[in-house]
Amino acid sequence: MQDKKITINDVAKLAGVSKRTVSRVINRSPLVGENTLKKVEKIIKEVNFSPDKQARGLASSRSYLLGLIYDHDDSLSIVQVQQGALSVCAQLGYELVVHPCKSKETDFIEECINSINRSKLDGVIILPPISENKQLAAALRAANCPYVRIASVDFDDKLNIVVSDERTAMKEMAEHFVDLGHKNIAFISGPLSYRSSIERMEGFLFELRSANIEIAESHILEGENSYESGMKCAMELLTKETRPTAILANNDEMATGVIRVASDLGIKIPEELSVAGFDDNIYASRIIPSLTTIKRPIENMAALASQKLINKVQSEHSAPIKLCGEVKPHLIIRESTTKKST
């Protein structure tokens, strides 16, 4: 901790160049002679110099802070997301600031923007479902705050969004249901105001139709993506005269609610009822029966989003950014689904 007081001036002196040159080296400016570059870099290493973020920020009006905006109700996978984002941030000298917000309150956008301004965040990553919020995106643009949205559909400039193809993933799920011989299928959608809900639903229904299976309208319920909502919808579905033999829920939370209700009603899963979800949240593999679901590679998506964001933020400066993995969701088959009983 001794070396904390080393400043750009010290480096400049030691290297026998000007401050400005050191600054150029730090910022990877191309306008530095090979020799000077080497000399300066050597000194920097030797004295273990790292530039002061605040000073840098004050001078260049950047903060090296990235924000993570998400709805605080819907934060189950937030840990993985943070991990993914951090893996990139740490590498590139950015810090991650968390900002859960309450999308139900009317002034949440204003509140977000204020907070961003106060901390001068260089940019933000927005998680679903508020990543779909148009007003938020517009406000961000107005405030001149770069953002990257994580979403399931391509509703923004390529540079502003990381998408996972949930529609196709849902087809896999539908195939799985078909393979198992289910015909009397029910679906609990997410709120239809979300594009992702529509995507998932359409992907599922479309593929089912290709297999000549049509879900009765009464077997499609609009849920709210919560456990409680899953229970409510399940109760409705499972007390019908002709009960479905398989239920797909828009997410694992709701699927968990379905399993709960089925259990309470004495309906055996998967023997009498197949249930599946979406997300592969932490508990999907641990509940009993373990849940067939679709894994969303949310950690990778967050990493990718960070990369995109930092690229934008650094625009002119060149930054060597490693690209990271796949963002394709895929089916995971577990205990909660099985062949339709005959």
Binding site for DNA (CB under 7 A): 5, 7-9, 16-24, 26-27, 30-33, 35-37, 49, 51-52, 55-56, 58-60
Is 79 or 216 the residue whose CB approaches a copy of itself more closely?
A: 79
Interacting partner of 36 out of a copy of itself, DNA, none (Cβ under 5 to 8 A depending on kind): DNA
Least CB distance from residue 256 to a copy of itself, whole Å?
A: 6
Q: Which of 126, 130, 221, 259 binds a copy of itself (CB under 8 A)?
A: 259
Residue position matching structure tokens 């399940």: 234
Is 27 or 184 the residue whose CB approaches DNA more closely?
A: 27
Q: How many CB atoms are located within 10 Å of the residue 241 CB?
A: 4
Stretch that binds a copy of itself, among 47-55, 159-167, 170-178, 300-308 (CB under 8 A): 47-55
Is 61 or 135 the residue whose CB approaches DNA more closely?
A: 61
Residue 169 to residue 99: CA distance in whole angstroms: 30
Stretch that binds a copy of itself, among 95-103, 187-195, 199-207, 208-216 (CB under 8 A): 95-103
Stretch that binds a copy of itself, among 21-29, 117-125, 158-166, 201-209 (CB under 8 A): 117-125
Our finding on whether 9 is near a copy of itself (CB under 8 A) is no
Residue position matching structure tokens 């030691």: 14
Q: Which amino acid is at 5?
A: K
Taken in order 229, 233, 235, 238, the sign of the CA dihedral is negative
Is 46 or 154 the residue whose CB approaches DNA more closely?
A: 46
- Contact status, residue 260 vs residue 236, Cβ threshold 8 Å: no
- Contact status, residue 257 vs residue 230, Cβ threshold 8 Å: yes
Cβ neighbors of 324 (< 8 A, separation 6 or more) are 88, 300, 303, 304, 307
Annotate 282-301 with DSSP letters as a single string: TTTTTSSSPPBEEE--HHHH
Our finding on whether 138 is near a copy of itself (CB under 8 A) is no
Interacting partner of 24 out of a copy of itself, DNA, none (Cβ under 5 to 8 A depending on kind): DNA
- Contact status, residue 326 vs residue 300, Cβ threshold 8 Å: yes
Q: How many CB atoms are located within 10 Å of the residue 161 CB?
A: 20
- Contact status, residue 276 vs residue 173, Cβ threshold 8 Å: yes
- Residue numbers of the site for a copy of itself (CB under 8 A)? 1, 4, 50, 52-55, 57-58, 63, 65, 72, 75-76, 78-79, 82-83, 86, 90, 93, 95-98, 100, 113, 115, 117-120, 142-144, 227, 256, 259-260, 263, 282-283, 286-288
